Amino acid sequence: MSSFARGRAFVWRAAAYATRRAEAAPLVGPTLSRINGRLFARRFVPDLQRLHDVLEGTELAGRYWVWAGLLLGWAREGAPLAHDRDADFALLPEDVPRLLSALPAMRRAGFLPLMRFVNNAGEVTEYTFRRGRARFEFFVFFPEGEEWRYFTYGGPRGERVQIGATVRARALAPFEFVGRTWLKPDDHEAELTAMYGDWRTPKTNWDYLTEDLAADEREPWRTADTWWDA
């Protein structure tokens, strides 16, 4: 990543953090959050459609699927979650080269590399892109017998945590969402239940760091450099 690109990525991340802090402020926070949510939604759906159409022309077509918050929005509300500012996708390790080969097409469409997450075992577990104010996240699901394992990261300021989680490996099925055909786990209700429990009841402050029911491992994260040289 060039110094210019790294600087732009840093500014994007800083602005996103400032927005989250402002929306959490007393009194004005809820109003600001509603306004930002409406403005965000106007661009997010067209960007989702654009991402789908770009990837249809690459080797990644038919090799990734919708999961987590984006899947929850479709299943419960028929639309992306109003409070969620990212799109969650998954792919298998064998398809990571296909994602990387799609980079030039994604760049031309305005989807720019933002972050890359590496777990303590040295495995790349997530690739994140940005377009506008949204993140588009591709999580690598590692097969382990009849299960898939994935990783998330975070923690309070000064603490870096790696969380390992496991869901059942499932066949994929097509579904219609935001005017496009995507793939999802065939039993999406079971997968959402494994992660969220009562996913039909809205909970805007759900915290993946502490409330992902599929999580089974938590440890200090030792490889916390997320810069992506792409």
Q: Average pLDDT in the 108-113 region?
A: 96
User: In this structure, are residues 68 and 88 in contact, taking their beta carbons and an 8 Å threshold?
Assistant: yes
The answer, yes or no, to whether residue 215 has pLDDT greater than 50, is yes
The predicted pLDDT at position 50 comes to: 97
C-alpha gyration radius of the chain: 17
**Range in 6-10, 89-93, 124-128, 147-151 with the lowest mean pLDDT:** 6-10
The predicted pLDDT at position 176 comes to: 98
pLDDT tens for 152-184 read 998 776 689 999 999 999 999 999 999 999 999
pLDDT tens for 38-72 read 555 668 999 999 999 999 999 999 999 999 999 99
The predicted pLDDT at position 12 comes to: 46
The answer, yes or no, to whether residue 37 has pLDDT greater than 50, is yes
Q: Average pLDDT in the 25-38 region?
A: 56
The predicted pLDDT at position 226 comes to: 86
**Domains of the chain, earliest start first:** 3-220 (3.30.460)
The answer, yes or no, to whether residue 6 has pLDDT greater than 90, is no
More confident residue, 225 or 38: 225
Q: What is the mean pLDDT of the chain?
A: 87
For the beta carbon of residue 21, count every other beta carbon within 10 angstroms: 10
Classify residue 39 as left (phi > 0), alpha (psi -120 to 50) or beta.
alpha
Q: Average pLDDT in the 192-204 region?
A: 94
Intra-chain end-to-end CA distance of the chain, in Å: 5
User: In this structure, are residues 91 and 60 in contact, taking their beta carbons and an 8 Å threshold?
Assistant: yes
Half-sphere exposure of 68 (CA within 13 A, CB side): 26
The answer, yes or no, to whether residue 11 has pLDDT greater than 90, is no
The predicted pLDDT at position 27 comes to: 56
The answer, yes or no, to whether residue 129 has pLDDT greater than 80, is yes
pTM attached to this predicted model:
0.84
The predicted pLDDT at position 133 comes to: 83
The predicted pLDDT at position 39 comes to: 57
DSSP 72-113: HHHHHHSS--TT--EEEEEE-GGGHHHHHHTHHHHHHTT-EE
The answer, yes or no, to whether residue 17 has pLDDT greater than 60, is no
